[in-house]
Structure 1
Amino acid sequence: MNFIFFITVILTATVLVVGAYVVAKLIGPRSYNPVKGEPFECGIPTRGSSWLPTHIGYYLFAILFLMFDIETMFLYPWAVAVKQFGPMALASIGFFLLVLVFGLAYAWRKGALEWK
């Protein structure tokens, strides 16, 4: 029974996505202008290449942000259901937080938190 429900959801999603695409192609405005393909930024034409190297600090900051954002996402449901699971839940979330603290300490020691 669950398999039929799963197939129905997948087929419905596929039909809706393809239907929206077809309707957009049929009734959407069409403008074939070569200027639309040019790079544009604040009304000023770009000079040089748009592919410039980015400082690694941006990536490290983003990864650290995601790491602690995911931590928050996991902590909320755990806090809601902690009474149902007992001491094992406390031990598992303690291990989870310990791994994250070690990750933060490693990033701190490597200088990933310093903006240079």
Structure 2
Amino acid sequence: MPDATVRTISAADYFQGYSAVGLIAVIGVLFVAVAFGSARLMRPVVPTPEKLLTYECGVDPVGEGWAHTQVRYYVYAFLYVIFAVDSIFLFPWATVFAAPGFGGITLVEMFIFLGFLAVGLLYAWKKGVLEWT
């Protein structure tokens, strides 16, 4: 019969593993602070009026800073993000699908998942969101 003893771990032993992670985090923060500090000390500081202007894609600012943007661009971006994130779920599914005993179940679950995506896409199409006019 196997020995059923319970091994107790002290708090010092438990947190010793985290001390290495904490040390690396502190070294990382110090590295970034030293890099930013040295860059601030070594950079040339010559402010001119041209440097203080707003710069956007090589075009000098003209007029007021308010511009209207069409909402449909954001809708396309939002739809892309939804489908890109949802396609990420296909990779773990492909690995589980090959495991013995999970093929049929995961296939049905993936068709349900893709069905939800298809319903969302059909809803967006029916509402006219995908029209580029």
TM-score normalised to structure 2 length = 0.69
User: Structure 1 39/99 Cα, relative in aligned 2: closer, same or farther at 3 Å?
Assistant: same
How many angstroms apart in 1 are the aligned matches of 2:131 and 2:16?
A: 53
SS at match of 1:24: helix
Task: Please name the residue that 2:60 is paired with.
Answer: 45
Deviation of the 1:79 alpha carbon = 1.6
1:31 aligned residue (35, 40, 45):
45
Deviation of the 1:3 alpha carbon = 7.2
2:119 aligned residue (95, 98, 102):
102
User: Structure 1 27/66 Cα, relative in aligned 2: closer, same or farther at 3 Å?
Assistant: closer
- Of 46-55 and 4-13, deviating more is 4-13
1:75 aligned residue (71, 77, 90):
90
User: Structure 1 27/62 Cα, relative in aligned 2: closer, same or farther at 3 Å?
Assistant: closer
1:66 aligned residue (78, 81, 84):
81
How many angstroms apart in 2 are the aligned matches of 1:17 and 1:62?
A: 34
User: Structure 1 63/20 Cα, relative in aligned 2: closer, same or farther at 3 Å?
Assistant: same
Q: Which runs of 5+ in 2 are unaligned?
A: 1-12
Task: Please name the residue that 2:128 is paired with.
Answer: 111
Structure of higher RCO (CA pairs closer than 8 Å, 6+ residues apart): 1
How many angstroms apart in 1 are the aligned matches of 2:15 and 2:114?
A: 37
Equivalent pairs: percent with the same residue? 34
Per-residue deviation, residues 18-62 of structure 1 (Å, max 9, x unmatched): 421332222441425154332113544211233422101110100
Equivalent residue letter for 2:123: Y
Per-residue deviation, residues 42-94 of structure 1 (Å, max 9, x unmatched): 54421123342210111010011111111221112212320212322112211
- Of 14-23 and 47-56, deviating more is 14-23
Q: Which runs of 5+ in 1 are unaligned?
A: none
User: Structure 1 22/92 Cα, relative in aligned 2: closer, same or farther at 3 Å?
Assistant: same
Q: Which has the larger radius of gyration?
A: 2
TM-score normalised to structure 1 length = 0.77
- Of Structure 1 and Structure 2, the greater helix share is in 1
Question: Once superposed, what is the RMSD of the aligned Cα atoms?
Answer: 2.7
